[in-house]
Structure 1
Amino acid sequence: MSSAKKQTQVRLEPGVLAAGKDAAAARGLDFNRYIERLIAEDTSGARAAGMAAAQRLIDTHGAFLDDLEAGMDAQYATATDTSPRGAAA
């Protein structure tokens, strides 16, 4: 039984390989499937469409998202402030 898939070899820096394997695992994919999916998304236009949609979201709601993030950051900083200045307040 032969496979229609072809094998290739890619040389990656250790950090890039580790990041790729971590990203694959986070998505529940094996590394080969992850790479195949990245190439398919990049060459089919799906990645560009997703990036365009993300940019539209940022353009439309960016200020709201910035305010929300700042509020969450401030809340977290207050809850975790263990500095002498924070403890005295």
Structure 2
Amino acid sequence: MAKQTNIRLDDGIRAAAEERAKRRGLSLQGYLADLIEQDVNESRAAFMAGAQAFIASYATAFEEEFGEDRYPGLPADTTRSASRDAA
């Protein structure tokens, strides 16, 4: 469900935004909503990429410190445990 949000824009910014919206065949509201959605999605993607890089960089250290079963309550991955025990 979409919620309405009110914002205040400087006259010059509003005019420029309206022109850009018009060139894209959008209303001002649609144009601004698209910009915000794009920014949020880019921020989310950047965060996820950073989180994945962090996990990849420190996975060995975490496993050494805390062990392989980092998710209490979930069944252990018997394939990884068996292959590690065989080594």
Structure-1-length-normalised TM-score: 0.46
Instruction: Select the structure of larger CA radius of gyration.
Output: 2
Higher relative contact order (CA 8 A, sep 6+): 2
Structure-2-length-normalised TM-score: 0.47
Structure number with higher helix proportion: 1
